[in-house]
Amino acid sequence: MDSITMIAVISIVTAGLTTGIGCMIPALGEGKSVASALSSIAQQPDAAPTITRTLFVGLAMIESLGIYCFVVSMILIFANPFWNHIIATHK
């Protein structure tokens, strides 16, 4: 297997793992935070606006982790920085 094929295989496998793990872990965190927020609202209904506002800020930060993983996987597939290096060394 030549180096160009090896870089392609490693990039595709890494992009798949990045997307898979990068979507599962934030989803679990979002589910846990929503469950905790609903439990808190059930115990103290008067604090619902504060809890909801804090929940949305936390969810946005958790979701950004999934988006960063998606961006990294797209860079590995479509704009891989290793391609130019390997192609330049093979010429």
**Whole-model pTM?**
0.74
Looking at residue 82, what is its pLDDT?
A: 79
Cα separation values, 82 from 9, 29, 61, 89, Å: 12, 33, 30, 11
pLDDT above 80 (res 1):
no
| Helices and strands in the chain: count of H runs, count of E runs | 3, 0
Domains and their CATH numbers in the chain: 3-90 (1.20.20.10)
Alpha-carbon distance values, 41 to 2, 37, 51, 74, 82 (Å): 58, 6, 7, 38, 50
Burial of 8 (0-12, 13-18, 19+ CB in 10 A): middle
| pLDDT averaged over every residue in the chain | 90
Task: Look at 39 and 6; give whichever has higher pLDDT.
Answer: 39
Mean pLDDT, residues 45-62 taken together: 95
List pLDDT tens digits, range 54-74: 999 999 999 999 899 999 999
